[in-house]
Amino acid sequence: MKIYLNGDLVEEQDAKISVFDHGLLYGDGVFEGTRIYNGRVAFLDEHVDRLFESAKVLDLTIGMTKEEIKDATIETCKANGLKDGYIRHLVTRGIGTLGLNPYLCKQASVIIIAADIQLYPAELYENGLKIITAGTIRNLPEALNPRVKSLNYLNNVMAKIEAINAGVMECLMLNSQGYVAEASGDNVFVVKGNKLITPPSWCGGLEGITRNKVMELAANIGLEVSETVMTRYEIWTADEVFLTGTAAEVISVIELDKRIIGDGKPGEITKKLIEAYRQFVNNNGVEI
Ligand code: PMP
């Protein structure tokens, strides 16, 4: 596999960064996860825009333009003959001292990995996902805003540990006030009648690119879509619940904390949105 590393395409075994890189020392950096379907990179503009926004919040200078990052992305996919898979963009603060001061890091490191995608098993798309509520709350927006897709993902990792130890693959994360924020690596939606709701990102979630597209697709099929503050009340009483994310796409949730949601199987609206989303990503995107 060839990895893009600071302007070069290098073999995987040569793709190395310094132990003094603040991405390693402090999780000081940002990332993106993007999909390529059928030789087309989905939502490339949106992912690159979010990468730059995350970096801006951290006052991290990427040292490349958006166009250069997009070109490098396409170049990396081509070099690996990748037509379907997952692209990981990483921008670390770069090499500095052992101290915290990010301004001593002169040059950010830009890494692009174009790889195969690890999907949830197909069975889970058929039958739905069981999740738990994590005891670990989502980061406070006033501390490290979850809208920043930073290399410090320990908040999510802590929640994921709880999910795995409870025998499930995902979990719901609440914010410090008990409102629903999102899942550890996905956004969350509730269907009730003709209404589709998802928490506003100020409740403590990433503003997902899949989320935004699904809201649009849902409005196109006549659903009344809104960002609404929610507690688990909305989940317990939902007709359908699903998660969205670049890797997961749209996936039904059928149980929360061993309690059945709706009628315990993927609902009709969720199925329609799974299909509409797949249609969209297979027919749009930047051709490589
Ligand atoms: N929330 C979190 C915490 C995430 O890491 C992700 C991305 N995996 C998402 C939501 C979904 O965002 P997107 O649709 O942009 O992939």
Q: What pLDDT is attached to residue 70? A: 98
Position 31, amino acid: F
Count CA atoms closer than 13 A to 186's CA, side-chain side: 24
**DSSP code per residue over 193-221:** TTEEEE--GGGT----HHHHHHHHHHHHT
* pLDDT higher than threshold 80 for residue 3: yes
Predicted confidence band at 133 (pLDDT cuts at 50, 70, 90)? very high
Question: Whose CA is closest to 129, among 120, 117, 142, 116?
Answer: 120
CA–CA gap between residue 84 and residue 117 (Å, rounded): 8
CA–CA gap between residue 34 and residue 86 (Å, rounded): 6
Contacts of 217 (CB under 8 A, 6+ apart): 273, 276, 277, 280
* pLDDT higher than threshold 80 for residue 118: no
Q: How far is the CA of 97 from the centre of ligand 1 (A)?
A: 31
pTM: 0.97
| Reported CATH class of domain 122-283 | alpha beta
Q: What is the mean pLDDT of the chain?
A: 97
* pLDDT higher than threshold 90 for residue 182: yes
- Distances 116 to 36, 88, 145 between C-alpha atoms, Å: 10, 11, 29
For the chain, give every domain's residue range: 2-115, 122-283
Choose, from 66, 78, 83, 149, the residue flagged as catalytic. 149
- pLDDT by residue (tens digit) across 190-236? 999 999 999 999 999 999 999 999 999 999 999 999 999 999 999 99
Q: How far is the CA of 285 from the centre of ligand 1 (A)?
A: 18
The reply to whether 2 belongs to the active site is no
2-115: CATH, from 3.90.1150.10, 3.30.470.10, 3.30.450.40, 3.20.19.10: 3.30.470.10
Across 78-91, average pLDDT: 96
- Please give the backbone phi and psi of residue 282, each rounded to the nearest 5 degrees, phi first: -80, -15
